[in-house]
Amino acid sequence: MEPLETHEHDVIVIGAGGAGLRAAIEASAHGCTVALVCKSLLGKAHTVMAEGGIAAALAHVDPQDGWQTHFKDTMKGGSFLNHWRMAQLHAQEAPDRVRELEEWGALFDRTPDGRILQRAFGGHTWKRLAHVGDRTGLEMIRTLQDRGVHQGLDVHMECTVTKLFTDGGRIAGALAYRRDSGRFMLFRCRAVVIATGGVGKAYKVTSNSWEYTGDGQSLAYETGAELIDMEFLQFHPTGMVWPPGVMGILVTEGVRGEGGILRNSQNERFMWRYLPEARRHEYAADEDEARRWVEASVEGQQTDARRPPELSTRDNVARAIYTEVREGRGTPHGGAYLDISYMPAERVIKKLPSMYHQFMELADVDITQQPMEVGPTTHYMMGGVRVEPDTGAATVPGLFAAGEASAGMHGANRLGGNSLSDLVVFGRRAGAGAARYAIELGGAPAISDAEVDAEIRDLLSPFERSSGESPYQVHAALNECMGKNVGIFRVHEDLELAVRELEGLKARAAKVWVTGSRVYNPGWHLARDLRNMLIVSEAIARSALLRKESRGAHSRLDYTGVDEALGQVNMCVTRTATGMRVTPTPLPHMPAELKALFDSAPPVAAQAAGTQPAGKSS
């Protein structure tokens, strides 16, 4: 066995997106030595792709806003499956975290009187998203990265963590390999923060980059931590549908926030037909009212007009577009038209520069002159590692999680803009939680040499074989299985089939063969990523099977209504000696003073799903 590069720190943060950077900055500020480990280059994490903005009740544009309304919107958006305490902390602390980013150098778009500008987004009652054109994530990453690097974080780029080790049930360290050389690294530590993002690469059509293979969720699961809400996977309504090579790339909700209109091939503005009855009163009644809202929004003025129907929640808009296409009213490439070309071209280019260039360069479409063609794309994982809200602690001592890899904050469906704020609110809390834990722990836990050797042998096993399938073949089969059986609309038979097919895929993944060297070998990397994607896929399918209702992002054609009993539980995934187990666990009890914030309508009334098609998902 080659000599092992070894590092020792108080806290290891896995992932250098918004959550990981914010956690690392906080742990370091608490006096801990911190290593920040990431699969790609610093600055390239998924957060950099975030476009539309960061949600915070700053009340700069709509003075009526406040944390209470943000809290209520988040709970309603999540169909009340969110952990109330996370939604509360998030709504209360997001404004301070945005101001902190500004203090650290982030330059947000401004109101005419020089304050941070805020835009509208689906499901948010007021204009709430602080933004930098449609490049908000880039500004956020740049700011956090500068702050972290100057604070002296020890950054390890292009290193993939494959295993966590424990000592007497407590976190003791992690094994990683360097992507450039294929050499292994051992991290000894007292606490680990998982901030590895989502799982989109289990699906073929996705807005997610190659890094999103569910590594953090799988690392936590294999270490004995609980995962929750894995059935809730968000399909963003607007991804590119053409040309094929760019299918799935995100078209920001900012387009609809700026007044983008959705139409079908018959030129019908169809979203009015899909508004849930319980929330119809929140939206413009007709074209005229929607136009007045957009005009006031452009001018930065207050209005009594209600927002356009395109600003319904993501799950609802995704189902609407899917249904239009299914029923034969789709565009030539199987989507809907999203039109912002009626606005002055200079405004479109100023507010949506990335969208303008994205469509011009990738699809030869000038969005200031023509509508875009858009359709649903796998986007965001609401489920993940179960954490304690105040500290980000997972259910394994010494393990913490934040950002998209964690769960509880968004319940059954995330509102746009609530992820970037989640990253900084709970990144900070997880960093502090991990630091306090590490300081209190004292002596360093031990890592078993035999476990390290076993992990390295397992990692190298695809090179040892002289025949077998390519990991790419198994990945393609996984994408096919998840897209066909565990997509936007789900039924019992498909979900059962998925679980059976996943068993077969696990056996195939265990026997894949890779050739070449360990230097930048993407086939070898995929061989490992496959294991993680299979774990999260199984968790999604098994949790979806048990949730016999339609709620938030989870739509069952065989159970189209909500089930009040299931509205009281999270699906909890754990590892047992005999395999994966999913059990319903009760939701935490919301205190009376928070319950009182909701008006007389019972919470479940807000959950009525949108219109469902007659057929099944494909």
Ligand X SMILES: Cc1cc2nc3c(=O)[nH]c(=O)nc-3n(C[C@H](O)[C@H](O)[C@H](O)COP(=O)(O)OP(=O)(O)OC[C@H]3O[C@@H](n4cnc5c(N)ncnc54)[C@H](O)[C@@H]3O)c2cc1C
Phi, psi of 469, deg, nearest 5: -80, 155
CB of 239 to ligand X, least distance (A): 9
User: What is the closest distance, in whole angstroms, from the C-beta atom of residue 416 to ligand X in the complex?
Assistant: 6
Told to judge if 581 belongs to the known catalytic residues of this protein, a careful annotator would answer no
Rounded (10°) CA dihedral 121, 549, 221, 47? -10
Whether 236 contacts 318, CB under 8 Å? yes
Q: What span, in angstroms and rounded, lies between the C-alpha atoms of 180 and 183?
A: 8
Please report whether residue 18 would count as binding ligand X according to CB under 6 A. yes
SS3 label, residue 386? strand
Which of these is catalytic: 236, 475, 525, 551? 236
The reply to whether 34 sits near ligand X by the rule CB under 6 A is no
Query: Which C-beta is closer to ligand X: that of 87 or that of 562?
Result: 87
Catalytic residue, chosen from 256, 528, 554, 556, is 256
CB of 160 to ligand X, least distance (A): 4
Position 14 contacts ligand X (CB under 6 A): yes
Sheet strands (E) in 52-178: 54-55, 118-119, 129-130, 154-156, 159-167, 170-178
- Is residue 52 within the footprint of ligand X (CB under 6 A)? yes
User: DSSP character for 246?
Assistant: G
Closer to ligand X by Cβ: residue 339 or 404: 404
Pattern 357-396, ligand X, x by CB under 6 A = -----------------------x----------------
Nearer to ligand X, 368 or 418 (CB): 418
Rg (CA), the chain: 23
Cβ proximity to ligand X: between 37 and 284 the closer is 37
Strands annotated E in 307-393: 336-339, 372-381, 384-386
| Euclidean distance between CA atoms 553 and 235, whole angstroms | 7
In angstroms, give the least distance from the CB of 405 to ligand X.
6
Separation of alpha carbons 437 and 11, rounded Å: 9
Among 50, 430, 566, 580, binds ligand X (CB under 6 A): 50
Distance of CA 64 to the CA centre of its chain: 29
CB of 377 to ligand X, least distance (A): 9
To ligand X, the closest distance from the beta carbon of 355 in angstroms equals: 11
φ/ψ of 422, rounded to 5, equals -55, -45
What is the Cα–Cα distance from 445 to 429, expressed in whole angstroms?
23
The 10 Å CB-count burial string (b at 16+, else e) for 430-441 is bbbbbbbbbbeb
Q: Does 237 bind ligand X (CB under 6 A)?
A: no
Binding mask of the shown chain, residues 194 to 213, with x at each position contacting ligand X by CB under 6 A: -xxx---------xx--x--
Minimum CB distance to ligand X smaller for 178 or for 554 = 178
Mask of contacts with ligand X, 160-179, x by CB under 6 A? xx------------------
Max CA separation in the chain (angstroms)? 72
Distance CA 271, CA 263 (A): 8
Binding segment for ligand X among 11-19, 95-103, 308-316, 348-356 (CB under 6 A)? Answer: 11-19
Identify the burial level of 576 via C-beta atoms within 10 angstroms of its C-beta, where 0-12 means exposed, 13-18 middle and 19 or more buried: exposed
Active site residue 256: yes
Among 250, 311, 352, 482, binds ligand X (CB under 6 A): 250
Task: Give me the residue label for tokens 């999604």.
Answer: 540
Applying CB under 6 A, does 318 fall inside the site for ligand X?
Answer: no
Q: Is 20 in the site for ligand X (CB under 6 A)?
A: yes
Both structure tokens of 272: 């009015």
* Residue 231 in contact with ligand X, rule: CB under 6 A: no
| Total binding residues toward ligand X, as defined by CB under 6 A | 42
Q: Is residue 447 classed exposed, middle or buried when 0-12, 13-18 and 19+ CB atoms within 10 A define those classes?
A: buried
Of 468-527, binders to ligand X (CB under 6 A) are none
Which of 188/492 has CB closer to ligand X?
188
Beta strands 227-228 and 384-386, pairing class: antiparallel
Residue nearest to ligand X (CB): 17
* Candidate residues 166, 312, 378, 419; the one interacting with ligand X per rule CB under 6 A: 419
Is 154 in contact with 25 (CB distance < 8 Å)? no
* Interacting residue ranges for ligand X, rule: CB under 6 A: 14-20, 37-40, 45-47, 49-54, 136-137, 160-161, 195-197, 207-208, 211, 215, 250, 380, 403-405, 416-420, 423
* Residues designated as active site: 236, 256
